[in-house]
Amino acid sequence: MARGTVLGRLGWKIGEVAEITAETPKVSSIAIDVPDWPGHLAGQHVDVRLTAEDGYQAQRSYSIASAPEDRRVTITVERLDDGEVSPYLVGELGARDKIELRGPIGGFFVWRAPGESPLLLIAGGSGVVPLMAMIRHRAAARDRTPVRLLYSSKTFEDVIYREELERLATADPTLDVRHTLTRSHPDGWRGYARRLDRQMIDDVAWPAQPPPAVFICGPTSFVEAAASLLVEHGYDPGWIRTERFGATGG
């Protein structure tokens, strides 16, 4: 989808908020009706622009959470208390409000069903968003490419899409979802309870033949650690696609 990868060919569109869903205390998903949306691939993102009454503008990029099969564009936003954009999107924005966006953007960090090889997804925090688009795309396409998701969150309450992931994994034995909680965990927790490490990677990594498709998204330090651990495990760096984010001001 080359038309979605070149900013010079993309114009700003005005979408209307159709629905807002609280995912965690600080994270919400915003479903937007966008006129003449050209379609997107799982893993792409959009730019969102806010304009104040005095003309000041702030712009941020957000991964698309919805599957390409969904008629609406959904972004999932984590509120950063000191941010310029996210506190408005998560807290003030409401249904039927207008929102300005541009996209879809990105052509490297994308996955298309049907998959040609096993899929390994590794997410840190809100880095799960583009990976969730891939999981939703796979489900909508009724694809049965084997998938493993390793998802690191601070606490149980911080797990984005927790109930949906559980429902999808329960219904589909070829989708393996594993969580690790790095700060605290509830009584009876059966997942991992530590930061990402080599043993965890050894547990979830697919055999190297055939070469798996690997996507990692999260904070920069998390992505670098996960990629390094996979290389130590024996994966070719060329198999690994990464997308990272740092402190951008929200």
Q: Can you tell me the mean pLDDT for 60-65?
A: 97
Q: How many CB atoms lie within 10 A of CB 11?
A: 8
CATH of range 2-105; options 4.10.110.10, 3.30.930.20, 2.40.30.10, 3.30.300.130: 2.40.30.10
User: To the nearest whole number, what is the mean pLDDT of the chain?
Assistant: 93
pLDDT at 75 over 50: yes
Looking at residue 10, its pLDDT comes to 84
Looking at residue 1, its pLDDT comes to 36
9 residue type, one letter: R
pLDDT at 161 over 90: yes
Looking at residue 3, its pLDDT comes to 36
Looking at residue 245, its pLDDT comes to 81
Query: Shortest CA distance to 179 belongs to which of 205, 148, 153, 160?
Result: 153
Q: Can you tell me the mean pLDDT for 233-245?
A: 95
pLDDT at 2 over 60: no
To 10 degrees, the CA torsion angle through 141, 237, 212, 181?
Answer: -80
Using left for φ > 0, alpha for ψ between -120 and 50, and beta otherwise, residue 43 falls in left
C-alpha–C-alpha distance, residues 180 and 8, integer Å:
40
CA dist list (Å): 147 to 98, 159, 216: 36, 19, 13
C-alpha–C-alpha distance, residues 87 and 228, integer Å:
34
Q: Can you tell me the mean pLDDT for 170-182?
A: 97
Looking at residue 168, its pLDDT comes to 97
Provide, rounded to the nearest whole percent, the portion of the chain with pLDDT above 90.
90
Query: Shortest CA distance to 146 belongs to which of 178, 114, 124, 170?
Result: 114
C-alpha–C-alpha distance, residues 9 and 147, integer Å:
34
Domain assignments of the chain as residue spans, ordered by start: 2-105, 119-245
Q: What is the DSSP string of 138-207?
A: HHHTT----EEEEEEESSGGG-TTHHHHHHHHHH-TTEEEEEEESS---TT--SB-SS--HHHHHHHPPP
Looking at residue 246, its pLDDT comes to 62
According to CATH, what is the number of the domain 119-245?
3.40.50.80
Which has the minimum average pLDDT: 1-15, 67-81, 99-113, 215-229?
A: 1-15
C-alpha–C-alpha distance, residues 147 and 145, integer Å:
6
Q: Can you tell me the mean pLDDT for 64-77?
A: 97
C-alpha–C-alpha distance, residues 100 and 218, integer Å:
25
pLDDT tens per residue across span 178-209: 999 999 999 999 999 999 999 999 999 999 98
Band of pLDDT at residue 250, cut at 50, 70 and 90: low
